[in-house]
Amino acid sequence: MMKSIKYLGVMLLACSLASGWNCGSKGTEGKASNVLKAKVSMVIGTAYILRADNPAKIKININDAILPDDVIITGKGGSVNVVIEKRGVFKIKDNSNILFSNLLMVDDENNSAKIKVMAGRVILGLEKLKKNSTFEVETPTAVAGVRGTSFMVSVQQKETRAFPYFVKVTRQEDMVTKIAVLTGKVELSNPKVSGSSYMIDSLKEATLINDDFKNIKIEKITRLSLDEITVIKDFSEIKELKLKEITDEIQKVEPQLEEIMKSELKTKSAVKSSAEDLSKTEKALEEEKLEVKKEAIQKMKSGNKKTDNKYLDDNKW
């Protein structure tokens, strides 16, 4: 009997350490003490939690604790900010599905966190991690490993069609993973795909279709991505938690951000100017056609029976 009790005790301890849960527990009371503290700091619109031991949707409120294996789901127009103690903050955007698969803390020097972006977008601002710590963002086709950075992860499904387009085919869905980095570096890889490790530097973004790392696209960050990521600068949580490292890193790339913005404005100005020139040309042609038409009508009125009716045919102009 004593052996059975000892064996049960060992199994319970092993289970608790391995998963961060106190096995057989319900709710938050049975959580192990070695879990990184994560809590909700802001909620907008529709958002709720799915918890492993509770099949019902739980409405999210400010200061709610986030636990291992929790799933945060946001609806249209919804967003949630989550703070992980002393590590950083991230914003879960609308129409997202995020799993907190790991929040393990052994001590201040040794901890690990992993979130899975099943769908949607997450914008992260993280302090540099200690030597033995890890932070990973996993998508259905890749893993983004970070040491401390500001970046965005987006996972969307894009409909594709076979060629030729008139051939009826079964609809397919492409999984598009996008990593846009504001500061720092992100290593994008897939353990199941050989030669799939790529480093994404500051002000760069990578686009991956399914798990096709051979054709991964890495380019200068787009204005659209910048508009999304730069909200990090306004995160009140960064100021309140005094995460100065994040703001310092963002300030370093400010001059480059200004250059990108100026370049975008020049491009927009050139496009606008071309559009205005084209509009003027089209207007001039229309005015010329109108004058010719008026002249043809005047000739008919003056008794010129030889005037061809084609001059009056609007389809000819």
| 95 neighbors 105 (Cβ within 8 angstroms) | no
Mean pLDDT of 118-134: 90
Q: Of 41-50, 129-138, 230-239, 308-317, give the range with the top mean pLDDT.
A: 41-50
Residue from 176, 172, 148, 144 nearest 160 by CA: 172
Going from N- to C-terminal start, the domains of the chain cover 1-27, 34-242, 247-317
pLDDT given for residue 116 in this prediction: 96
What 3-state DSSP class applies to 133?
coil
Of the chain, the percentage scoring pLDDT greater than 90 comes to 40
Whether 266 shows a pLDDT value over 70: the answer reads no
| 65 neighbors 35 (Cβ within 8 angstroms) | no
170-215 pLDDT, tens digit each = 445 789 999 999 999 999 999 888 888 999 999 999 999 999 999 9
| 63 neighbors 39 (Cβ within 8 angstroms) | yes
Q: Which CATH code for domain 34-242?
A: 2.60.120.1440
